[in-house]
Chains A and B, each alone.
Chain A
């Protein structure tokens, strides 16, 4: 890494890591570049806390700003390399002044700059797609490419399963009891036909156009792929992440109780406990919107009708747990990898610095008391947990690529 003390200091801005919103916190991006490990991405805005106006030109675009060259600006939020509190923020286009980003990271960010709608904020889904695109090109190695191909295939299967589960639930909710044969015995075509008939009936009952109701149903099915529904829940991505978080919590809790003199990793005991506590809090927060979605889906008919006036109703709800869990999948994978390699202490030091900070916005989402997220954050904040392991950049890139090969 070149000297960052003089000219480059203009490119970097140190900030306390106290985001008000999830957009300000940014999306965890699976960077493979050593210096960018654990960094987040967000669109450049003029909001307080954003980098600066140095390269911002013209009026913000829906709150987001473009650079002098007219391209959408993207900021990288890098965890404090010392492992202590605070983050460094820099423009993606300035990263080259600090390090040489890997081909994978260049392709991922280029996808976000050039192939996403600059009017929309970056979301975890967008970043996952961009990263997957880079991995599919083989830029993080063949194992990561294979993992990306598998993820694409699984997602397609998941989409079919989710749509089928939704149709089955719709029929159960709308058809008279005893209608035969029951939904789970129907072929794909029969289920589709009876499902469409049910949607037509709903449209008629609520005085809506059939294509509107059908369109909302399709959108709902697409949105639900990530969290799954009915029988498709067990194989969905987000419940898998939450399970991994629960497993991490269960593995870390005992380490947090190791007393002095009993183990070489005693110094990490406090970190283990804090990470476990943070994982637990994130899980319990993520399941709240999931429960809300389940509740809504007990009457798909009502939900479809509500979506006529609030088209993003279900999407907004689905995005909440995704934002809450954002960053945890990587933490879980780092731990899994470290357990396999016997490097627990190093992993604890690293992931403690990566525990996602909860923004104030979450209090509004979940109806929490004002100041409760700040309290959780202060309980879990790493205090001077130094992470400067003797790992070369080369090894760190290899490790990060290994994580890409584990990506869900």
Chain B
């Protein structure tokens, strides 16, 4: 088999091969997938919230927040169960990090209520 063929012939052979390999079912599935992808792409690109989320995700703060969530959950999972009761609550509340967390929640609530 000579490899000395033109670009056009290469394209023709590729199309021939693709055509021989394709079946109605393959084309139907590809068509279905194209359909779903087009619909999703259309919805995503015209959904302001998703576009905003995408924009936010590009900031360092967003990455830090995701990391913090992940680490916090890890330490929460591994931490011993709290004792509960008023003594337990007082101990918790005296922790500066817990106070920080309540402050964060407070800012979040303030923004929501604006």
Partners in one complex: no
Q: Interface of A with B (CB < 8 Å)?
A: none
